Amino acid sequence: SMSVIVWWLATMVMVAVHSASAGVVELNWEVEYKLGWPDCKEGIVIAINGEFPGPTINAVAGDTVIVHVTNKLSTEGVVIHWHGIRQNGTPWADGAAGVTQCPINPGETLTYNFIVDKAGTHFYHGHYGMQRSAGLYGMMIVRSPKETLQYDGEFNLLLSDWWHQSSHAQELYLSSRPMRWIGEPQSLLINGRGQFNCSLAAYFNKGGLKECKFKENDECAPSILRVEPNKVYRLRIASTTALASLNFAVEGHQLEVVEADGNYIAPFTVDDIDLYSGETYSVLLRTHNPTPSRNYWISVGVRGRKPNTTQALTVLHYAGAPEFEHLPHPPPVTPRWDDYDRSKSFTNKIFAAKGYPPPPEKSDEQLFLLNTQNLMDKYTKWAINNVSLSVPATPYIGTIRYGLKTLNYQKPPGKEIMRDYDITKPPVNPNTTKGSGIYNLQSGRVVDVILQNANVLKGRGSEIHPWHLHGHDFWVLGYGEGKFRLGVDEKTYNLKNPPLRNTVALYPYGWTALRFLTDNPGVWFFHCHIEPHLHMGMGVVFAEGVDKIAKMNIPDQVLGCGSTREFLMNRGRH
């Protein structure tokens, strides 16, 4: 419609004016539990200012974002991680509990203050306990003052998974001896909306089912994408799932993939896209001119794990089509969950857009991270180089800033760990230990990380792990099958146009290599983005530029716990 285009031009003009001098986006948030109906069944969600998912943040590259977060959860702390924002110069605002800050106590307020230095599709989420699983998440869109992509309108699609069990029960199950696995999600949600026990497909095809009694304004009614014919729409898609890998498709429409994790990529066209937890994409969708006007399915289904969850569905509604009409075809079928070749062929199409600098030709150090599932005193854990991460009571950044004690830095394990381990079988020695998992990286270095997957604890199998790095984008140099061969596989690296990402998949029984620059002093989490896996110890921490952290101006309010609290109180007395 004309109004959409006028609105679009107005916003573009606004963006142009706005960016002449960097702006400030200031928000006041109250985080609290509330009753919700995310999948038409009552459950408890974490809401921000009463909204679930939380409000979308809209900013322009260069803006300062200030968020005053008040914790209204009466019995637990809270933090918010700004996923995809590099936090250059503000590592204390990264929102990783125990790493960059103390959780915000009930009733207290913490101000996050940081610059969004570049455009991209991002999101934010809880990073304490398993609060992300409880629904603490929302979109964060950083626009470019000079957008090079041409389109007529846009939609945000935040994808998540949902359990009927509370996140507290899930945490307890995972930490039990023996572990009780949480199982597959009951529902998938699109912008916080799903339908359990109500087949939307049947609803639209039979003109209404008794289980699907929602009205247009119900909390679980699908958010319909309303489009005009012969236009181009940008769909900004983010996955904040706790567990599921996803596939996204629009019936009768191809998708041109143009952005991944806040970086432009060389455009390519596909019928559907795979998204792992922590990834974001922009795709351009071109509408055609159906006569008569009609609706098309949008489907989201589970990949990478044997699904026990029905698809999330919504509708692409062409102007003038009947609202709740019979759709002539069933929704697009999600590709088979274990067709990994298909997943890899999608991944292998992703290259940096023209104009992005290639990575340095050589690295200064190689860090090998072997991913295994282990036992510790009959508790099931995930471990990296046989250390299962346990974050201390005093955030690392505070310990380093005030030199409170010498941190026990891990020695990067040599190549031996990889050489001697048989990744095709369950671990010979299943035992692991808990540790603080922190590596000391000097500033100004080129670091390669080689992630190596292996067999699970029992039986035959290897899982997909999406790895996410805080504080950085990295170049994805390559993927391979089986065990990484030192001196051989490096020759296969793409050093010409590898994509810049902040999240990357580690495929079953394979390896993934990435390279990044230590150009952002801080303490940065690097972990599997599957919520239960992180909860079970699947991560490491990089302390980068320790000498610079020791001189940083870190607000006292982020360090009011553990030994930093004592230190700051004593300092205040003198």
Other C-beta atoms lying within 10 Å of the C-beta of residue 268: 13
In a domain, 118, yes or no: yes
- Into how many domains does the chain fold? 3
Tell me, yes or no, whether 197 and 131 share the same domain.
no
> Residues 267, 187: contact at Cβ < 8 Å?
no
The C-alpha atoms of residue 358 and residue 351 are separated, in whole angstroms, by 11
Tell me, yes or no, whether 38 and 161 share the same domain.
no
The tokens 């107005």 sit on which residue?
Answer: 10
**Cα angle for residues 160, 162, 167 (degrees, 5° grid):** 115
Looking at 128, 147, 166, which one is the last position of a domain? 147
Torsion of CA 415, 417, 422, 425, to 10 degrees: -140
In a domain, 16, yes or no: no
Looking at 322, 352, 382, which one is the last position of a domain? 352
Tell me, yes or no, whether 119 and 171 share the same domain.
no
In the sheet where 80-83 sits, what is the strand order? 57-60, 137-143, 120-126, 80-83
Tell me, yes or no, whether 242 and 160 share the same domain.
yes
pLDDT the model gives residue 323: 78
pLDDT the model gives residue 214: 59
In a domain, 573, yes or no: no
In a domain, 456, yes or no: yes
Tell me, yes or no, whether 416 and 333 share the same domain.
no
Q: Which two tokens stand for residue 120?
A: 């991209």
Looking at 112, 147, 182, which one is the last position of a domain? 147
pLDDT the model gives residue 413: 66
End-to-end C-alpha distance for the chain, whole angstroms: 66
In a domain, 359, yes or no: no
Tell me, yes or no, whether 115 and 190 share the same domain.
no
Q: Write down the pTM of the prediction.
A: 0.93
Q: The domain that contains 336 carries what CATH number?
A: 2.60.40.420
Tell me, yes or no, whether 372 and 429 share the same domain.
yes
The C-alpha atoms of residue 469 and residue 479 are separated, in whole angstroms, by 17
Q: What is the full per-residue pLDDT of the chain (574 aa) written as tens digits?
A: 433 333 343 333 334 334 446 899 999 999 999 999 999 999 999 999 999 999 999 999 999 999 999 999 999 999 999 999 999 999 999 999 999 999 999 999 999 999 999 999 999 999 999 999 999 999 999 999 999 999 999 999 999 999 999 999 999 999 999 999 999 999 999 999 998 877 666 656 555 444 566 555 588 888 899 999 999 999 999 999 999 999 999 999 999 999 999 999 999 999 999 999 999 999 999 999 988 899 999 999 999 999 999 999 999 999 999 876 778 888 999 999 999 999 999 999 999 999 999 999 999 999 999 999 999 988 999 999 999 999 999 999 999 999 987 778 887 765 677 778 999 999 988 999 899 889 999 999 999 999 999 999 999 999 999 999 999 999 999 999 999 999 999 999 999 999 999 999 999 999 999 999 999 999 999 999 999 999 999 999 999 999 999 999 999 999 999 999 999 998 876 5
> Residues 158, 238: contact at Cβ < 8 Å?
yes
Q: Which domain holds residue 318?
A: 156-352
In a domain, 45, yes or no: yes
